[in-house]
Amino acid sequence: MLNPLRRGLFAVLAAGIAFSPLAAHANKANDTLVAAFQAKLPSLDRYHSPGREGFLLGLLAYDALLYRDPTTFEVKPLLATAWRQVDEKTWEFDIRKGVKFHNGDPMTAEDVAYSFEYAANPDSKVFNRMTGGWISKVEVVDPFKVRVISDKVTPLALEYIIQLPIVPKAYREKVGLQAFAEKPVGTGPYKVSGGSGNDVVFTRNDDYFEGGGKSKPKIGKLIYRAIPDVNTQVAELIGGGIDWAYYIPTDQAEKLKRLPMVDVINADTFRIGFLTLDAAGLSDPKSPLKDVKVRQAIAYAIDRAAIAKSLVGGASKVIPSACTPSQFGCITDVTQYGYDVTKAKALMAESGYANGFDIDIYGYRSRPVAEAIIGYLNAIGIRPNLHWLQYSAVIQARRDHKTPIVIDDFGSAGVNDVGAALPFFFAESPDDQSRDPVVTQATKDAGSIADPDKRKALYATALKQIADQAYWVPMFTMPVNYVMSKTVDVPVPADENVEFWRATWK
Amino acid sequence: MAYYIARRLGLAVMVMLTISLLSFLMLKMSGDLAISMAGEGSGADYVEFLRKTYGWDKPLIVQYGDWLWKALRGDIGTSFYYGSPVLDLVAKSMPVTLTLGAWAIVIALGTAIPLGMAAGSRPGSWIDRIALFIALIGVSTPIFWLSFVLILVLGLEFAVLPISGGGTPAHFVMPAIALAFYSMPAIIRISRAGMIDVMRSDYIRTARAKGLRPHQIYLGHALRNTLVPVVAVASVQFGFLLGGSVVVENIFALHGIGYLTWEAINQNDYPVVQAALLTVSSAYVVLTLLADLLNVMIDPRIRLD
């Protein structure tokens, strides 16, 4: 016989279970995978959905003409069955026949032309101008053949094509952009089938075509749930409310590893961390950073391996040069600066700064990493003054020539080619703090020719010069932690573009 | 009375204008919407194009004037980040926050008033000590900490409540408790103090002398007079709850005004931040006004003029 207090407690528990929706929670039994993300999708129109979540939306509900394998980075057919370069500035694509949009409309070259023209038009204000801005004209040759023409030679054309989703011309024009953003239609492996404030529900596209790089989903339903707080995500993972989450901080991931209900996998992304140094003296004509020896001293002073191991954690590796190692054109046999305080101090003394100097340093991402860097710089006499701001404010400060040192990182906007980062940070761009003619020339030349071997050679020239002159302090790769329920297997990509359609229940 | 209300509303408009100008300037100084919108890796020329298109290259005060002029005519604009009308976003999130706030204030009043009155009727007794202890804990407990303790206990250990999300009444229980705990201390203190005052008054002595039973004294005579200050504090607390829900909504992933504001601040999406602030501050103004009017009804001796 239970005492009254315990009976009361049981009654409360029973009542709680009765009206809690735990029973309805999605999982293996009802073929529904619940994935948690920190950010809400601002729009379901891929052209207006930025960030890494926008990438995932693009892959789930839409297809591009081409597809990049997330582990081998090989470019494969998707909505295009074949493609060829007609001349240096013209690409031709054969469009797959028999593909239907989620609303049943057939997908043709007209839709491709419409999508590309939308992406190319600055008035569309798409979130990422880079992927469509290079296109100057699209010609529909026949209902299943298009030609994409650019004004300039665009070596990254195919990398951009991979990111341009094909949207249905007739439907999108009929319903308008606002309605399309709520009820989008694509050709992708999942259809958007509804959603409330918290969730977006994706259901399997049973008519998904065969023969492309993507495939019909194995799991019937996918729920995109926005949970901004990582601690809450972790609690939901433990409680079984969600099946999958990523970008879980390393300290949390380490604890989760010990739990029986989840798997933790740490995998690399394209994102790398580095310091940009104002070698041109833009922020101050008398800046000590104009002296190559001072820049080299900074590179020697920081124990990057220690930061990568204990602060970034997981699979993070020190990067030897100013690029993501997996990218086309990235070379690593350049001048290296291992952790060597004696050498750093000697270089400081040689350049007349034996007593160090005060300098402003800007950051926005990881405060512990910033503080570690400051500690290492203190050890050779440099006294950094940290400005901790939002990303956009730091970038604007650099463009306004106010930042001697920026603790920065870059994800190459998903482009697997050095050609994404170098023109952004060098070649006299607004973010170029070195203004080095050798780097500028090589980067500009590499961006205007199509020949892969020549491009590689030019990028090698630029990367060697950047290392010799220590314009950057390359730091480490920035892997992320994926945490998923033991009941499900979601393949982990090397470029953070998770392919939920390949997920299976165990 | 009419003059009083008009003066109060006039003051409220001034306060709201000041709030909106300050928040506009702070948001503009903390980051750059054009760079956020263009996305990482976009060229500076496109950032410049966005600035021109949206008029962000104009002086700040002109931008604010543009926004205000439109807002005064009822057009509070379109969210730059979400791309949808701000009014839609606010209208979608408001019910969530109001539900949460209502639950929280009901829980807070339902526990704090009886506790405060019980404490005030016997100052120095064990119940008084407990009430004051709870008030102390309530003031000094960070709301996020309490939220996670609730998640650990009710969400994981006993697994009786859903941890995050919205949609069912069960989803509101933990966030409402967390929020209620946050506003309880003030209500406990004010109802305790009110009760102590009232119990010393002549009419209570008279009631006792007449031989009324304690519950008749408390409910029939003391309660109404104790409630006057409580109503004022409770309405202010409800306003706090609407604002304080930023933390709670983020932890429990409730997509209300608090969550919307937080996302908008992160994206420098100023039309949304402005609208959210105006919504919360106008709710605040209306609530304090209502509290004053309610007090007149409870205690006819109060004259607003």
Q: Which two tokens stand for residue B143?
A: 């709301």
List CB contacts (< 8 A) between B41 and chain A.
128, 130, 410-413, 420-421, 424
The pLDDT of residue A164 is 96
Cα gap A314→B204, rounded to integer Å:
70
The pLDDT of residue A102 is 97
The alpha carbon of residue A337 is apart from the nearest alpha carbon of chain B, in Å, by 27
Cα gap A377→A366, rounded to integer Å:
17
Inter-chain contact B38–A413, Cβ cutoff 8 Å?
Answer: no
Name the packing angle between helices B270-298 and B257-266 (round to 10°): 150
Cα gap A333→B123, rounded to integer Å:
79
> Residue B301: pLDDT above 80?
no
The alpha carbon of residue A103 is apart from the nearest alpha carbon of chain B, in Å, by 23
> How many other CB atoms are found less than 10 A from the CB of residue B25?
14
Whether the CB-CB separation of A312 and A488 falls below 8 Å is answered with no
Q: What is the pLDDT of residues B261-283, one digit of tens each?
A: 988 888 878 889 888 888 888 88
Cα gap B197→B216, rounded to integer Å:
18
Q: How far is CA A318 from CA A273, A469, B148, B282, in A?
A: 9, 19, 36, 53
What is the band of B227 on the pLDDT scale with cuts at 50, 70, 90? confident
Average pLDDT estimate for A8-13? 38
Average pLDDT estimate for B238-242? 80
The alpha carbon of residue B226 is apart from the nearest alpha carbon of chain A, in Å, by 33
Average pLDDT estimate for B227-254? 84
The alpha carbon of residue A380 is apart from the nearest alpha carbon of chain B, in Å, by 32
Average pLDDT estimate for A14-37? 63
The pLDDT of residue B304 is 60
What is the band of A1 on the pLDDT scale with cuts at 50, 70, 90? very low
Inter-chain contact B164–A236, Cβ cutoff 8 Å?
Answer: yes
Substitution target from B26, B28, B32, B270 for chain A, most A beta carbons within 10 A = B32
The pLDDT of residue B265 is 85
List of residues 6+ apart from A352 with CB closer than 8 A? none
pLDDT greater at residue A329 or residue B236: A329
What is the band of B239 on the pLDDT scale with cuts at 50, 70, 90? confident
The pLDDT of residue B278 is 83
Inter-chain contact A231–B84, Cβ cutoff 8 Å?
Answer: no
pLDDT greater at residue B59 or residue B9: B59
Q: Which two tokens stand for residue A47?
A: 């052209």
Q: What is the pLDDT of residues A229-280, one digit of tens each?
A: 999 999 999 999 999 999 998 888 988 999 999 999 999 899 999 999 999 9
> Residue B55: pLDDT above 90?
no
Which residue spans within A9-102 are E strands per DSSP?
Answer: 32-37, 66-68, 75-77, 80-87, 90-95
Which among A178, A239, A393 is the nearest to B155, CB-wise?
A: A239
Inter-chain contact A122–B163, Cβ cutoff 8 Å?
Answer: no
Q: How far is CA A402 from CA A282, A366, A408, in A?
A: 8, 21, 15
- How confident is the prediction for chain A on average, in pLDDT? 91
Inter-chain contact A412–B41, Cβ cutoff 8 Å?
Answer: yes
Inter-chain contact B251–A420, Cβ cutoff 8 Å?
Answer: no
> How many other CB atoms are found less than 10 A from the CB of residue A134?
19
Q: How many helices (H) and strands (E) does chain B have?
A: 13, 0
Cα gap A495→B12, rounded to integer Å:
52
What is the band of A302 on the pLDDT scale with cuts at 50, 70, 90? very high
List CB contacts (< 8 A) between B84 and chain A.
43, 178, 181
Using a CB–CB cutoff of 8 Å, tell me whether B93 touches chain A: yes
Phi-psi region of A436 (alpha: psi -120 to 50; beta: other; left: phi over 0): beta
Cα gap A17→B82, rounded to integer Å:
36
Tell me whether residue A340 is exposed, middle or buried, using C-beta atoms within 10 angstroms of its C-beta: 0 to 12, 13 to 18, 19 or more.
middle
Tell me whether residue A292 is exposed, middle or buried, using C-beta atoms within 10 angstroms of its C-beta: 0 to 12, 13 to 18, 19 or more.
middle
CA torsion A359→A364→A368→A371, rounded to 10°? 10
Average pLDDT estimate for A222-232? 94
**Which residues partner with A202 through β-bridges?**
A192, A222
Cα gap A90→A501, rounded to integer Å:
33
List CB contacts (< 8 A) between A429 and chain B.
43-44
List of residues 6+ apart from A445 with CB closer than 8 A? A458
Substitution target from B87, B163, B261 for chain A, most A beta carbons within 10 A = B163
What is the band of B303 on the pLDDT scale with cuts at 50, 70, 90? low
Chain-centre distance for alpha carbon B68: 24
List CB contacts (< 8 A) between B164 and chain A.
225, 227, 232, 235-236, 241
Inter-chain contact A16–B31, Cβ cutoff 8 Å?
Answer: no
Average pLDDT estimate for A25-47? 87
List CB contacts (< 8 A) between B160 and chain A.
12-13, 16-17, 20
The pLDDT of residue A451 is 92
The alpha carbon of residue A209 is apart from the nearest alpha carbon of chain B, in Å, by 31
- How confident is the prediction for chain B on average, in pLDDT? 87
pTM: 0.86
The pLDDT of residue B269 is 85
Q: What is the pLDDT of residues B140-153, one digit of tens each?
A: 999 999 999 999 99
What is the band of A197 on the pLDDT scale with cuts at 50, 70, 90? low
Hey, is A485 helix, strand or coil? strand
Poorest-confidence range of A68-77, A375-384, A424-433, B30-39? B30-39
> By percentage, how much of chain A surpasses pLDDT 90?
80
pLDDT greater at residue A370 or residue B246: A370
- The ipTM estimated for the assembled molecules is 0.87
List CB contacts (< 8 A) between B169 and chain A.
19
What is the band of A13 on the pLDDT scale with cuts at 50, 70, 90? very low
What is the band of A295 on the pLDDT scale with cuts at 50, 70, 90? very high
Report residue A477: phi and psi, to 5°.
-75, 160
Inter-chain contact B37–A127, Cβ cutoff 8 Å?
Answer: yes
pLDDT greater at residue A238 or residue B12: A238
